[in-house]
Structure 1
Amino acid sequence: MMLLMAMCGISVQASTVVAVGTGEAGGQRTGQSAVWHDPSGDAGLQAAITALQAGQFKPLASAGSTGLKKGSYWSFFELHNTRQQQLPLRLEYVDHQLIRLRAYVREAGAGGEFREVADQAMGEPFARRPVFHNRFVVPVTLDAGEITGFLVRFDSEEAGFVFPSMRIWSPDALSKSHTGETAVLAFLFGGIALISLFSLIVGVTTGDSSFFAYFVYGISKIIAWGTILGFTHQYVVQNHFHWSYMSAAGALSIFCGVVFDRLFLQTHKYTPRLDYLLLLMMVNAGVLLVSALLQLKQVALISITLALLFYPLMTFVALVRWRQGSSEAAVFAIGWTLLLTGLFYQALRDLGLVEHNLLNYYLPPLSSFVEMVTIMAAMGIKLRRVRLQGLESERQYRRHLEQSKVKLEGLVRARTEELEKAKQQAEMEARTDPLTGIRNRRSFLAEAELCLKRAYRKGEPVSLLMFDIDHFKSINDNHGHGIGDEALRQFSHTIQAKIRETDVFGRLGGEEFALLITETRPDALHTAERLRDNITGIRLPSGEEEVQFTSSIGVACAHQTQTLEQLMREADEALYAAKQGGRDRVVEYAQSNADAHATLSREEPQPA
């Protein structure tokens, strides 16, 4: 083959020959020993052959990248099959930043003519690719002992970074490598998805908008890296894919990242001047998105470059916030610096200053994952700080109340009228249930004791009604504690609106209430039935339905020798009998005893 190519006037360099055999695992590369740049991007196969014959193909001067250049790049290399049988190979383009790849092969039996063996483009349906891979792969087969020459054209359209090199694989090794790469990225994307979901849950729980922004930021990262690395084209948008999708996904991720950073670092509040630069980053991300949608590649490249230049600003802002006392900002700076390290190394690779390999190829998404984990730790520190601040505020509030109480008592002793009123107000609040606005247990017991003694003194009848909202737990479980609280308030308001000012009404705890009235036994039972009927008319809106509930009432009528404690115990027993009897009913204490005695000769009924 080398003799044939020399006879045809093609200059052959020994360095262009790559010996291949079985078990090729991507360790060998091709294409960088003889590279030709066509600035116009219009040169065809014949022009490339002419340049090859004229010795214009030169070794690539950089570590692997052509840098940001216009036009097309051609590489020439030869593969020498050292085996004595046919050898199937896969030639894989080393990077994802390529719009189109064309490959030509020249065989001894082809009369010295190059023939096209591959023409792959990013915008073509993915199903047309001969090998199922997120990067361009050219399948070739070499005859036994054959030395085969190849010409490969790399196009980035307008301007772009090109890596004129192909990794050499055996079919099985490439398949295993691709499976491994996909598994690693699936792990990284899954980790980012879990972090994002956790952030969403915390955001819903705490109401902190920065957690919601972090959730959106994480999802945008998955979309961006999946699109940039070619997996979106491979698995999602298999038809009509365009390079602008990569720029648009990157713009979306940058925009969401800056939004999150502003919320997390609170730059608008604490660093307003630096916040203007972050707003400028958001505008630049918007320009990148628009240029991608309008397919303005030059503008998109400039916007991406500006975005990368602005990225170190975020670390500086975080360090400023750390100096201001935000401990989580220091951890944020570490995470953002790790991301910058990956992106900076990618920039060095794109500029051809460092060698291109799988490690630095996947370093940016890996550093992006590490950044997400690190910043999540920073958000945990922030959440803990906010919690501690809340506890400290609560402790200060309690200390303040204690101090106010001491001060209030001292001023009361000094007979200050103004503070006497404040004391009375405080005492009223201490006697009031905060949810329903009626007497709490302590206030009810004190007032009921006085009312009972006064009734005994005057010879007036006294009755105690004890209420319990039926199935209150199911209201909380099915409709939420907000509806449960509203049920307690409406219940209290309904009772309070139907009783006299001299009656003593209070909440004993939970869904249990008590009412002391100076009425005879028939009137007390009538009042209990009337109140029970009023309770059944309460309606609470809950979504598309209304919540209705009932109440069981136990009634105990006092005698001149009974204490309040005995009266409450009798009313409680009557209430228990009402609930055992089917709920939504009024049961008097004497009646409950009779019923309990009558059931001794029968089987115990199933509880309601």
Structure 2
Amino acid sequence: MHFMQGFAAREKALSPSAPLFVLLGLFLLLLTTPLGAVPSDAIDVNGRESGDRFTGQQEIWHDPDDSHTVEDVTRIYESGGFGPLLSAGSTGLKKGAFWSRFALRNVTEAPVSLNIEYVDHQLIELAVFQRPLGAAEEFEHSLTLSMSEPFDHRPVSHNRFVFPVALAPGQTREFMVKFSSDEAGYVFPSMRIWNPDNLRSSHTIETASIAFLFGGFFLMSIFSLVGGIATGSHTYYAYSVYALSKITVWATILGYTHQYVIREGFEWRYMSISGAVTILCGLIFARIFLQTKKFTPKLDYVVLLMMANASLLLIGALLEIKILALVTITLALLLYPVMPVIGLLRWRQGSREAIVFAVAWSVLMVGLVVQAFRDIGYVEHNFINYYWPPFASFTEMLTIMAAIGIKVRRLRQEKQLAETQYRRHLEQSREELQDLVWARTRELEMAKRQAEQEARTDPLTGIRNRRSFLADSALQIKLARRQRQPVSLLMFDIDHFKAINDAHGHGIGDEALRSFSQTILGQIRETDIFGRLGGEEFGLLIPEDSKNAQHTAERLRDYIARIKVDTGDGTLQFTSSIGIACGEPGCTIESLLKHADRALYQAKSRGRNKVAEHPAEEGAESH
């Protein structure tokens, strides 16, 4: 079209005496121009481009099946099949691939090196074909940039697709670029033209800005984690995880995860996975912060539905079920406005921080809406709306942190008010409460003593339980060590106690344990420490040396053998095996128990109703 308009203008300017030259020129032009081609004006470049120049969107063609080769597309272009993009910058959600044709002309007398940058992050693959403008040869494949390829395969290190172009002095090259989105996706067929040095400088500033953004998310996460540790509040912990998820999702969506973290084996579904995790973390935090379960129980079911939907989105992304992921992400966006509504309702209920939360969530919603309108082609793609969603997300987090601060301040004020009212009430009722306090104190002291006694006493036999026995024995051993006095531990085990229970029942067994305990108590001193270790095992710590401990053990064994328990069908008598361990320098109650247990095993192995003293024989094991 541009060629025909120019030709018409030149024809009008010619004099009547030049028809031969016109026909000759037209003939030569037809020889050098492919049949049916309508070459567009090339974009003039001089090597100083700073990204404000774009490849045109006037020559675009949609391949719905992504089945055409560059030769097929060239024929379609030459037959006039290409046309302008009829939107603000995006093709909208379409299947297949899009092709864009443009030409670059070096207007200088020196070689020019350029970088051509794709303007968005939502592309799976970009293939570049080129040839000299007007040449009869076919387009040659220059390179293919793919999201699934290792990042090191990219000729230019950038989080978005960038390919280099070299133009000789005065040269014009024609490009055919294929944009693929893997079945269905959004394509922005325009590309920025850069001088390589200018692109590196811009990318450095852009990366530094995003790093600052991520640093803010990280600091918010750390502050919240510290707040959670200090207060034990689940709100802080949930916010900390939510802030970290923001770093993950935006780093993945904007391409930095592929550039710096997963440089090989990166998959497109990672974006959906990180997005699902962030949505789920945000909903969990919102549910905790707004206390929807307590104050808005009906709407809490909607929040639970949103959380379940986010979980399905995560499952769909993990299992690559694209229809599930598409349905769930659409439902998630449709349900997002519920959260500001809940925030407003909680504000009406008296929660001042809830209105700040509603504003924060609304800011995030605006960012997502802007991105949606940009993706479907209603809003022009530019630097502002490209980075609006992540910066809106950052603003949301800052606002929510302010809301948390307001909530903490409110809780502190409520606490101070409650304390003031409580003190005033105490002052007004001091005389009346004093008597009640004293009475209650006496009751508590009695209850405490009783509880302590119960905690130290075996409920069946009335003697020390294991914990009390161990504690008192440990103190007694330390005292004996300081006073250089001997100490010995006797461990008792009622012989064949299981047979007693089996033959006479547990009631008679319990009576046997009580009779055993009372017999021992009647034969020892008050300073001796006697307790039930468990089951039919008992322990006795006495301040005696080995010889006296042996004598005491034999004496007690004899008294035990005299015990008689009335079973109703007759009289029950039983015996006990006793193991002795004598204290040594540096001994503990644990070591004495271990040695006495080995000695007890020896007593039982000798036929029971015996007394044995540690050390046990080599190779003996505790029973």
Shared topology, TM-score over 0.5?
Answer: yes
Q: Distance in 2 between matches of 1:396 and 1:390?
A: 10
Q: CA deviation at 1:371?
A: 0.7
Q: Does 1:231 align with 2:245?
A: no
Q: Does 1:7 align with 2:33?
A: yes
Q: CA deviation at 1:20?
A: 1.5
Q: 1:31 to 1:157 in 2, by over 3 A?
A: farther
Q: Does 1:385 align with 2:399?
A: no
Q: CA deviation at 1:4?
A: 8.5
Q: 1:145 to 1:319 in 2, by over 3 A?
A: same
Quick one: which of 134, 146, 151 aligns to 1:126?
151
Secondary structure in 2 aligned to 1:349?
helix
Q: Distance in 2 between matches of 1:65 and 1:403?
A: 73
Quick one: which of 82, 89, 102 aligns to 1:64?
89
Quick one: which of 42, 56, 78 aligns to 1:17?
42
Q: Distance in 2 between matches of 1:68 and 1:5?
A: 41
Contact 2:133 2:174 in 1 (8 A): no
Quick one: which of 312, 318, 340 aligns to 1:315?
340
Quick one: which of 29, 32, 55 aligns to 2:80?
55
Q: 1:263 to 1:42 in 2, by over 3 A?
A: same
The CA deviation string for residues 503-526 of structure 1, in whole angstroms up to 9 with x for no partner, is xxxxxxxxxxxxxxxxxxxxxxxx
Q: Distance in 2 between matches of 1:65 and 1:423?
A: 76
Give % identity. Answer: 52
Q: Which amino acid aligns with 1:173?
A: N
Q: CA deviation at 1:6?
A: 6.6
Q: Distance in 2 between matches of 1:186 and 1:423?
A: 60
Contact 1:4 1:112 in 2 (8 A): no
Report the TM-score, using the length of structure 2 for normalisation: 0.65
Q: Distance in 2 between matches of 1:4 and 1:335?
A: 63
Query: How many positions carry a matched residue from both structures?
Result: 427
Q: Distance in 1 between matches of 2:300 and 2:32?
A: 65
Q: Which amino acid aligns with 1:114?
A: F
Q: Distance in 2 between matches of 1:221 and 1:289?
A: 16
Q: Does 1:27 align with 2:64?
A: no
Q: Which residues of 2 match residues 63-462 of structure 1 at below 5 A?
A: 63-107=88-132, 111-408=136-433, 422=436, 424-425=438-439
Contact 2:130 2:141 in 1 (8 A): yes
Contact 2:299 2:342 in 1 (8 A): yes
Q: Which amino acid aligns with 1:424?
A: W
Q: Distance in 2 between matches of 1:270 and 1:60?
A: 51
Secondary structure in 2 aligned to 1:362?
helix
Contact 2:55 2:192 in 1 (8 A): yes
Contact 1:158 1:297 in 2 (8 A): no
Q: Distance in 2 between matches of 1:144 and 1:5?
A: 25
Per the alignment, residue 543 of structure 1 pairs with none
Q: CA deviation at 1:250?
A: 0.4
Contact 1:311 1:340 in 2 (8 A): yes
Q: CA deviation at 1:170?
A: 0.5
Q: CA deviation at 1:283?
A: 1.4
- Relative to structure 2, which stretch is displaced further, 289-298 or 115-124? 289-298
Q: Which amino acid aligns with 1:196?
A: S
Q: CA deviation at 1:389?
A: 1.4
Q: 1:163 to 1:5 in 2, by over 3 A?
A: farther
Report the TM-score, using the length of structure 1 for normalisation: 0.67
Q: 1:5 to 1:137 in 2, by over 3 A?
A: farther
Q: Distance in 1 between matches of 2:137 and 2:115?
A: 23
Contact 2:32 2:134 in 1 (8 A): no
The CA deviation string for residues 198-252 of structure 1, in whole angstroms up to 9 with x for no partner, is 0111111111101100000000010000001000000000001000001000000
Q: CA deviation at 1:32?
A: 1.0
Q: Distance in 2 between matches of 1:362 and 1:169?
A: 20
- Where structure 1 has 5 or more consecutive residues not aligned to the other structure, the ranges are 410-419, 438-489, 499-608
Q: Distance in 2 between matches of 1:430 and 1:396?
A: 26
CA RMSD of aligned residues (A): 2.6
Contact 2:103 2:133 in 1 (8 A): no
Q: CA deviation at 1:112?
A: 2.5
Q: Distance in 1 between matches of 2:178 and 2:146?
A: 12
